[in-house]
A and B are shown apart, each in its own frame.
Chain A
Amino acid sequence: MQRIAVIDYGMGNLRSVSKAIESVAPDDEVLVTADPVLIASADRIVCPGQGAAADCMAALNGANLVEPIKEIIGSRPFMGICMGLQVLLTHSEENDGIDCMNVLAGKVKRFNRPLTDTAGQRLKVPHMGWSKVNHSQAHSSHPSHPMWSGISDGARFYFAHSYYCAPDNKDSVVGSCVYGIEFAVAMAATNLFACQFHPEKSASDGLQLLRNFVAWDGAA
């Protein structure tokens, strides 16, 4: 039995995330906690998040979780979801600009207004609903990331966001989506996988991604 910690900093649909993990890891212990000691002792860590970037960073700082998270990342499997991805970047444009954790170099930007597709049709913001996620590969010979095991290239996942990640290093991008522009929706490094969409709300493919995370050895 392994222990999976879901970080509770007061900014997320923690119940949905923990229930979804429990459903794919019935023999594991899923712990929703804000305690840095418990988080540091877990085998795997999930950082969900919803709401505005400034509030999320303030909540992480208020709970004294920024340094513990930075120390954990890279040492064992860590998964960021939605705002749990965005706060890993260097800086977000949201709330008139807010510095984030700088684990992954890059910016979080707002979708342009007006946002249009290639045919000139207006696209609504927030980007809300089910979009296709393409499994990006740095090189065509490189296999797709192990977190995509059992998930078709182009499978749809559920999104709900107005800001998107623009990482400096494209090699870290393992999934992308087109909504007016093409943007990164999944980023990875050793022991780190973070996604913009909500696997806990993406039906069977989302559960498969969580199942993959629970079994992932952390290798990219």
Chain B
Amino acid sequence: MGLAKRIIPCLDVDAGRVVKGVKFLDIRDAGDPVSVARGYNEAGADEITFLDITASSDNRDTMYNVVEQVASEVFIPLTVGGGIRAVSDVRRLLNAGADKVSINTAAVHNPELVQEATDKVGSQCIVVAIDSKCVSEPDEAPRWEIFTHGGRKPTGIDTVEWAVKMAELGAGELLLTSMDRDGTKIGFDLGVTKAVSDAVEIPVIASGGVGELQHLCDGVTKGGADAVLAASIFHFGEFSIGEAKAFMLNQGIEVRV
């Protein structure tokens, strides 16, 4: 008995609305962020992640308002990501009520930002988001690289090496998204999840591809993830958080009930 594996619904936010796309495209509206977050809190979610998916300057103030409103009435951990470029952005989000801030693209351009941010606010506040894609041919040993800008730009950086580097710079947690799987509902990329989870001492959140409850279990038991993140299966009412937890518990996975 120990630490529960976390289930984290992810809310992609664009211009103050929760949306969900497939492979980062074809976006559908899924509601008002505050009411969606409140619903997940009541349903027993262990944490909520907000990603500001456009992160344009127009969107920034909207996002701070959303975070403030959610943090005023939802008392579970709140992670916010998207468009963080400086420690001042991190501070502003934490002051608005975020508990953790997720840094993605900016970490690639300026890895020292991760160190600077963790020095200032502590590792437990800094999540590094990694958008990863399988780049090996089917007959090769699997190999993954990270992509930035919402998955549009390749970087040539190896995912596992990058994960280790981010942990060394002080990241408190990694949010690992498989871009090949995002929105596809065929399950996590368990290969990269396991490779990253084994390589680092810090917790890893598996993301991208959940379509069935078994996928959540596989992320933990086969991928070694400490937490599993999903969006569309929860947003569109296919499964509730309670159903997901009951399913995981039934397979011997420790969850908070």
Residues of A whose CB lies within 8 Å of any CB of B are 13-16, 19-20, 23, 50-52, 55, 113-114, 117, 123-132, 156, 158, 160-162, 178-179, 198, 200-203, 206-207
Contact = CB atoms under 8 A, between A and B. Distances in A.
Q: Which residue, of B46, B99, B124, B227, has the highest number of chain A Cβ atoms within 10 A?
A: B124
A185 B51 CA distance: 32
Nearest to A131: B3
Nearest to B45: A203
Contacts of A113: 201
Contacts of B44: 203
B202 interface: yes
A160 B203 CA distance: 11
Contact of B3 (A15, A130, A201, A207): A130
B71 interface: yes
Interface stretch (B115-123, B132-140, B183-191): B115-123
A13 B97 contact: yes
Interface in B196-230: 201-204, 226-227
Q: Which 6 residue pairs spanning A and B have beta carbons closest together?
A: A160-B124, A51-B122, A130-B256, A130-B4, A15-B97, A124-B203
A93 to B, nearest CB: 15
A156 B201 contact: no
Contacts of A203: 41, 44, 75-76
Nearest to A24: B75
Given A51-B121, A130-B46, A179 B201 contact: no
Contact of B2 (A15, A23, A179): A179
9 contacts: A15-B97, A16-B75, A16-B97, A23-B73, A51-B125, A128-B226, A160-B124, A160-B172, A179-B3
A100 to B, nearest CB: 16
A13 B90 CA distance: 12
Contacts of A179: 2-3
A13 B172 contact: no
Contacts of B203: 124, 126, 128-129
